[in-house]
A and B are shown apart, each in its own frame.
Chain A
């Protein structure tokens, strides 16, 4: 049971490598390597221009925001596959309500739609103990269908300029609003995860639910709250889509769930629960955005991009095997 000290024969390098937590740092290494790779090969295509770099941040903002909430879900040993569809649904509900009833009702309606779906997900998982994979898989279809249905598949333009300014279209001084949203989400997520007892309870429930329950943590409530939040945050992401693209559409966010989950896993959060790395998640999202951007600049078509993204997701899951 004694924790064996490193043998004297080993070099300090092997010792360092053995001690370095490869799993939780792999994302930073990958990010830097890919960044350098693109900087060299795609420098001429404008990869390094400020505009392009800000674009990467802008385009990944919705992913980053959802990924922060997803980090809590996965750290809790659950999964939420419905985030992309919820974003789409929230974008159309917000767009319709803003147009018909004004800014504030629109924002509230958007968030409410996410809260409603998150609450249903959470209740089914926490109290009826349906696996979150199944619940949210069903919800993925349900929310997407609902969004398409209420709009008759038609885009819902947003003309309210205040809304567009706040939710992703505008800037705060020289800083793009979407960057601000990302920073807000990451900062909040980091503090909650690392510095509040709520974050501890999430990690404890994910790390060993029995132990958490014996310690007096109401694990069902924690599970519920995590999925509820994920729904609300997904709705917020949908509203950011709506602001950036000045319309609500059922397609917004479609397929994002996989990118979001890949970002979280790449970032070092354990798929088995108990560990949640918010900063890693941010870099995971940025990495996904970086890859997207690079592939487009390199002139790959949509099909080829999909293949490469798929490969990255598989690599992410393979890496997550080793806790």
Chain B
């Protein structure tokens, strides 16, 4: 962007100039400029591995900068640690949350800067008061004395935001804050962001969801391969322009449903009747035919994930019946479910989908490790071959397949999870929010993979809170409410996203 007459331009709260970051020989950021102004929401977009999180971690003092400069309120500032960032007024709401689960909300908020009484002892009551004041200011009701470990994701975010505000943050960085939020929680977050903006706080908003960016951002910067390819006021841009900047080409296939011409009378592969579980499920019915993709919709807490866990033998059904090919089955553990041809791509990849300290390659080959044996030993050559093939097919961005997978960007970790399970070729693939944190180019690729997989005669159960993608792949949609099957609709009968949304919320029938 060209800089206009400097007089009318306010001083940016944060100005990053020529920021370069290398990890060993790999240059992840190649001279990035970024200006963040008070009271604006600045969207940071780009493909998986483009360097968004890295850029923000530099600002936060998590990674040292390789070269370049950072100015805060017009003053050159050196940020070498989390403390430096805090002093400069930069707060972060992390992509991977960062609270202490064994502590209370108030203790987390005041952590490392606790108020002390005259004796030098911690004044927990002051911390509770402060937390209460911040939550009141934000119009949020949350008990500061509750234990963080027992709270849901949405509350974790609130606590992180409160924690940053209690440290007088002028800039809040939110790295994919809605990735694991339900629809109404997203609404709450957005209205909170509006209030923060009104207070003059600058917000850097990293997201892969175009609709969110268009809704709340004032300005957007797009990174590709560690460079800025676009930085402008959002109002001047059209969605295709933004998407083209992100993926560097026009989008091949859009998020639209294509009738794959599947056989609506194909044999039923999986059927569930009256499934109940210990906690959430009351009575869930669902069938999936060969070659069919069934979308599973519902609000957070409606029991989608719980149902997926039952299908995969992770939780037991207390009532009801599961059949595969018409035969009654009971899965006492995932191993039994796997043998019956089931697979689950779990919702929380870091917790359940990956061994974070193992290499990309080890993670990819783990589900099929038995097929890579020569005699009793795993053949490194076969493992390498398979790894290379999967990395290519799923365009995983990994500089070194032998590096621990936790070093990959979030979206690339997700691709590894998807790749390793599809490669196992289950008859019924259950996917729980498989595109969370995945960039828009990759998302269309993953959806295409799902379609192909079903067209080849396999069955897919697709859980998603993002209705556009749910509508793009599902042949039939089953809606859960409060642990029960509430409705079932053929894709062709759904007229619009809004209509589906209303049905999910129970407003329309």
Contacts and interface: CB of A to CB of B under 8 A. Distances in A.
Contacts of A274: 100-103
B99 A208 contact: yes
Contacts of A275: 102
Given A208-B100, A215-B82, A274-B102, A1 B152 contact: yes
7 contacts: A1-B185, A3-B152, A4-B279, A194-B122, A210-B98, A270-B102, A274-B102
A272 B421 CA distance: 31
A207 interface: yes
B22 interface: no
Given A1-B154, A275-B102, A200 B301 contact: no
A180 interface: no
Given A197-B112, A214-B82, A217-B112, A207 B102 contact: yes
Interface residues of B, number: 36
A320 B62 CA distance: 33
Interface in B344-375: none
A212 interface: yes
A274 B99 CA distance: 11
Q: Which of B102, B122, B151 has the most CB of A within 10 A?
A: B102
Nearest to A205: B100
A204 B150 contact: no
Grouping DSSP codes into helix (H, G, I), strand (E, B) and loop, the B interface class, with mixed when no group exceeds half, is loop
A211 interface: yes
A2 B86 CA distance: 32
A275 B104 CA distance: 12
Contacts of A211: 97-100
Interface in A189-212: 191, 194-197, 199-201, 203-204, 207-208, 210-212
Nearest to B110: A200
A249 B103 CA distance: 43
B318 to A, nearest CB: 14
A215 B166 CA distance: 12
A27 B151 CA distance: 27
B112 A216 contact: yes
Interface in B137-164: 150-155, 163
A83 B120 CA distance: 30
Contacts of A37: none
B300 A207 contact: no
A283 B163 CA distance: 36
A270 B101 CA distance: 13
B107 interface: yes
Contacts of B163: 215
Nearest to A212: B100
Contacts of B111: 200, 204, 212, 215, 217
B81 interface: yes
Contacts of B92: 214
Contacts, number: 82
A195 B100 contact: no
A195 B122 contact: yes
Nearest to B150: A3
Question: Of B101, B112, B150, B155, which is in contact with the most chain A CB atoms at under 10 Å from its CB?
Answer: B112
A199 B120 CA distance: 12
A40 interface: no
Given A200-B111, A208-B100, A214-B82, 13 more contacts: A2-B152, A3-B151, A194-B122, A200-B122, A203-B102, A204-B100, A204-B112, A208-B99, A210-B98, A214-B62, A215-B98, A216-B112, A274-B102
B481 to A, nearest CB: 14
Interface in A60-76: none
A2 B94 CA distance: 22
B100 A197 contact: no
A201 B154 contact: no
Given A204-B103, A207-B100, A213 B122 contact: no
Nearest to A273: B102
B83 interface: yes
B114 A197 contact: yes
Interface of A: 1-4, 191, 194-197, 199-201, 203-204, 207-208, 210-217, 270, 274-275
A221 to B, nearest CB: 12
B403 interface: no
Give the most central of A1, A207, A270, A274: most B CB within 10 Å. Answer: A1
B182 A1 contact: yes
Interface string B107-131: 1000110101000111000000000
A197 B116 contact: yes
B465 interface: no
Contacts of A196: 120-122
Contacts of B112: 197, 200-201, 204, 212, 215-217
B152 A216 contact: no
A274 B185 CA distance: 29
B13 interface: no
B98 A208 contact: yes
A195 B300 CA distance: 38
B303 to A, nearest CB: 12
B60 interface: yes
Nearest to A213: B82
Nearest to B102: A274
A275 B147 CA distance: 12
Contacts of A207: 100-103
Contact of A203 (B83, B94, B100, B155): B100
A210 B101 CA distance: 12
A260 B384 CA distance: 47
Contacts of B121: 191, 195-196
A201 B155 CA distance: 22
Contacts of B96: 210
A211 B155 CA distance: 16
Contacts of A3: 150-152
Given A2-B301, A4-B279, A204-B111, A197 B102 contact: no
Contacts of A210: 96, 98
Nearest to B81: A216
A197 B122 contact: yes
Contacts of B152: 1-3
B187 to A, nearest CB: 14
B486 to A, nearest CB: 18
A212 B103 CA distance: 12
Nearest to B156: A1
A228 B153 CA distance: 37
A197 B114 CA distance: 6
A28 B398 CA distance: 52
A201 B83 CA distance: 14
Contacts of A217: 111-112
A29 B81 CA distance: 46
Contacts of A214: 60, 62, 82, 92, 94, 98
B153 A1 contact: yes
B309 to A, nearest CB: 16
A200 B82 CA distance: 18
Nearest to A210: B98
Interface in B65-108: 81-83, 86, 92, 94, 96-103, 107
